[in-house]
A = this chain, B = another copy of it.
Amino acid sequence: MKKDYVRPLDLKHGRIDMNHGAGGRASMQLIEEVFARAFDNPHLREGDDGASLPVPPEALAGGRLVTACDGHIVSPLFFPGGDIGCLSVHGTINDVAMMGARPLWLTASFILEEGFPLADLVRIVDSMAAASREAGVPVVAGDTKVVAQGQGDGCFIATTGIGVAAPDVRPSGRNARPGDVVIVSGTIGDHGVAVLSQRESLSFETEVRSDTAALHGLVDAMLKAVPAAAIRTLRDPTRGGLGTTLNEIARQSDVGMRVQEAAIPIEPQVEAACELLGLDVLYIANEGKLVAVVAPEAAERVLAAMHAHPLGRRAARIGEVVADDHRFIRMQTAFGGERIVDWLSGEPLPRIC
């Protein structure tokens, strides 16, 4: 299309104003010079109100479609190892992947606050675009709204993912059975500690970086290693951390779990930061880890496949599913005692993702 703006946006010193959300020429300029430039793909180039997408081969071969969505409000917007942009891509790709599906497309809704620096928006959008390209999951439709100063907080991003799964692949939180093995794909707490380290109120020194990453490649490797039914449950322990995710699965499947604290991989720096802040690492968010519940006879092969993948090198068997009417997560502590890993209680960690 012919460009017909008086002058290009000032991407260095410009700011979002209410016109960018009004649907007129300023909105279109923002879309073209920031979003379309970064996300460029044939679907967006059509310039229509939505995207027209081919039917994926797995769908034609008896598979099913999968969708998941996630809102992102992380504060601060930039943190060691990532930012709200790549996070909003990884988070939703992971939700789709945890359904056993191959993620194919993303949609993205931005809610921007008046006065938000265009330079920050460009940085966020470029990070999203890079994450989306690396994952092979394009952003095919989008929307931008603007609220007045004080009615938002810089930049919120809601993404929805669409994927497709083979007919026999149906991992679910409802499928855990007594005797199954509980696996975590790597160290826990990295994302939450990285974000908290940037909060003004909590400023502390650490070199911990967010683990934010797209896990669909790891899931694919796991699914190729064993029969699909052997992978009962996949879930990414984001908000609420590992402790919450284990409780969710136990509740959905009406089982309990026994977990060995010493088996849970944790970076020493994360452990130190949690001690300093008085936080329990079990409830700290992760953005590039998954919990898998697998059939006991498949556990070794799943672990081997995970260890061979860059995002699963530190995967570990951390416990097993047991019959328990109370659906308790019992953890054998490093000191030989036992504690119940309850649902998150006490102060929540706001805006961690």
Residues of A participating in the B interface, judged by any CB pair closer than 8 Å: 1-2, 4, 18-19, 21-25, 27-28, 46-55, 59-60, 63-73, 75, 95-96, 98-99, 101, 105, 107-111, 140-148, 150-153, 156, 158, 160-162, 165, 170, 172-174, 235-236, 238-240, 244, 248, 251-252, 254, 283, 285, 343-345, 348-351
Contact = CB atoms under 8 A, between A and B. Distances in A.
A96 B98 CA distance: 26
7 tightest A-B contacts by CB? A50-B68, A23-B239, A22-B348, A24-B344, A23-B240, A158-B158, A160-B160
Contacts of A144: 71
A99 to B, nearest CB: 4
B69 A174 contact: no
A289 to B, nearest CB: 14
Contacts of A18: 348, 350
Nearest to A49: B95
A69 to B, nearest CB: 4
A105 B160 CA distance: 12
Nearest to A163: B50
Contact of A238 (B23, B147, B152): B23
A24 B71 contact: no
A299 B53 CA distance: 28
A71 to B, nearest CB: 4
Given A23-B239, A60-B60, A152-B152, A107 B46 contact: no
A22 B345 CA distance: 10
A237 B88 CA distance: 29
Given A71-B111, A150-B150, A350-B148, A22 B240 contact: yes
A50 B98 contact: yes
Given A28-B248, A52-B170, A55-B64, 9 more contacts: A4-B251, A22-B348, A48-B98, A49-B235, A51-B99, A53-B66, A69-B108, A109-B109, A147-B351
B151 A22 contact: no
A21 B60 contact: no
Contacts of A25: 343-345
Contacts of A283: 24
30 contacts: A1-B254, A2-B254, A22-B239, A22-B344, A23-B285, A23-B344, A25-B345, A27-B239, A28-B343, A50-B68, A51-B66, A51-B67, A52-B165, A54-B65, A55-B60, A65-B65, A65-B162, A67-B140, A67-B160, A69-B109, A75-B151, A107-B160, A109-B160, A111-B158, A147-B153, A148-B351, A151-B152, A151-B153, A152-B152, A156-B156
